[in-house]
Amino acid sequence: MTHTVVLCFILFLCFNVVAQLRNNGHRRQEWPVPYRRFDRRPDVDSYCEALYPFCPTGDPEGRIPYMRDSDVISVYRLQTPVWEFKYGDVLGKLHIMHDAVGFSSAETGTNYTMEWYELFQLGNCTFPHIRPEVYAPFWCNQGAACFFEGIDDLHWSQNGTLEKVGEITGTQFNDMAQWVQEDNQTGIYYETWTVRSEPSPNATVWFESYDCSQFVHRTYRKLAELGAKLSSRTQTNYTKIYLYSGEPTYLGNDSAIFGQPALKNLAMDIRKFYHPVQTSPVVHRLGS
Ligand SMILES: *[C@@H]1O[C@H](CO)[C@@H](O)[C@H](O)[C@H]1NC(C)=O
Ligand SMILES: *[C@@H]1O[C@H](CO)[C@@H](O)[C@H](O)[C@H]1NC(C)=O
Ligand SMILES: *[C@@H]1O[C@H](CO)[C@@H](O)[C@H](O)[C@H]1NC(C)=O
Ligand SMILES: *[C@@H]1O[C@H](CO)[C@@H](O)[C@H](O)[C@H]1NC(C)=O
Ligand SMILES: *[C@@H]1O[C@H](CO)[C@@H](O)[C@H](O)[C@H]1NC(C)=O
Ligand SMILES: *[C@@H]1O[C@H](CO)[C@@H](O)[C@H](O)[C@H]1NC(C)=O
Ligand SMILES: *[C@@H]1O[C@H](CO)[C@@H](O)[C@H](O)[C@H]1NC(C)=O
């Protein structure tokens, strides 16, 4: 009950912006808008500061160890609630699941965890910063893949899931590793919201989210494509944050909206819309 209150608060804020976008339509668009891929990952702006360092125990270059083809690699499904928070004196508990994939080499006995998450925490991927010296809303919303040695068995199994879902060969693992590097170079921005026309299952999806669970799905799909047979005994529930709206309309990019005096009112409305979010305790806690 109480967590619904908090969610509605966030949804209400965002609904306004999408509703505004909608009133100014000028071209037909395909839904959902395909996730935009880039040629390479840009350097992070020094304004963005991480509360926790990204991937502290991973290889600094993001390298993934090479496996011999004769090796048998076990694949694990990992899931756990990541955070919960309290909003004011209304006790709200909101469980967001975090998903990852685990690997364990039969030949070396070494195991590994692979996950995809925000460089600057969830709050920064959900709302932009309104900065006095920068006119357009400013985002610190990169997300990336992290591959590191070890599986924290206790962490995943105690309040979540640690389940073996199959075995792959060393070659399948190496091919997957190469795909992960490419995916990591080209898919660089975290997208929190799934935006749909309505709650019913038939709803049109305007925008898909791009987050840790999407990465896990892509990885399973890639492994299946490489010939791996994976299966889970239990149903997996994924956390999604939905936003419902009428059909959105594309109004222009940053330079168009924030660079043209003719669109000053729209630019000011967008800044005003995001301003209260900056000072909201909810958003601050989204990252903790
Ligand atoms: C978000 O980005 C700001 C600015 O870089 C930073 O101060 C903050 O620690 C980041 N994380 C959260 C949770 O807000
Ligand atoms: C993905 O990109 C991030 C950011 O550049 C980097 O820190 C990380 O090591 C990369 N991960 C992999 C598995 O390549
Ligand atoms: C990971 O390796 C450690 C040490 O070898 C082992 O105790 C643990 O059970 C392994 N975890 C998995 C999921 O294989
Ligand atoms: C599991 O949940 C309990 C109760 O919320 C908590 O005390 C414990 O630290 C959690 N365990 C892990 C490994 O996160
Ligand atoms: C979804 O679409 C199907 C087929 O068009 C229809 O039979 C069904 O009633 C729809 N369900 C809802 C909840 O609108
Ligand atoms: C997933 O959600 C369904 C419906 O809410 C629930 O019945 C089921 O127990 C959940 N499964 C897990 C593993 O949490
Ligand atoms: C922004 O949009 C304008 C006009 O639609 C276009 O000319 C420009 O190349 C775009 N800029 C970027 C960075 O995409």
Look-up of token digits 């299952």:
201
Strands (E) across 42-142 are located at: 72-83, 96-105, 111-118, 129-131, 134-138
Per the annotation, the verdict on 212 as an active-site residue is: yes
pLDDT tens, residue by residue, 219-249: 999 999 999 999 988 877 777 788 999 999 9
Per the annotation, the verdict on 98 as an active-site residue is: yes
Task: Please give the pLDDT value at position 144.
Answer: 97
Cα 194 to its chain centre, rounded Å, is 10
* DSSP letters for 2-27: HHHHHHHHHHHHHHHHHHHHHTT--S
Contact 180 CB / ligand 2 (< 6 Å): yes
Task: Please give the pLDDT value at position 8.
Answer: 33
Give the C-alpha separation, 12 to 19, whole Å.
11
52/14: higher pLDDT: 52
Task: Please give the pLDDT value at position 84.
Answer: 39
Q: Which residues pair with 80 in a beta bridge?
A: 98
Look-up of token digits 């989210």:
209
Percentage of the chain exceeding pLDDT 70:
81
Give the C-alpha separation, 279 to 252, whole Å.
27
Contact 234 CB / ligand 6 (< 6 Å): yes
Residue 188 three-state SS: coil
Give the C-alpha separation, 109 to 128, whole Å.
43
Strands (E) across 26-65 are located at: none
Task: Please give the pLDDT value at position 74.
Answer: 98
pLDDT tens, residue by residue, 125-157: 889 999 998 999 999 999 999 999 999 999 888
Catalytic choice (8, 14, 98, 140): 98
Contact 128 CB / ligand 1 (< 6 Å): no
pLDDT tens, residue by residue, 170-203: 999 999 999 999 999 999 999 999 999 999 999 9
pTM of structure: 0.84
User: Residue 35 above 50 pLDDT?
Assistant: yes
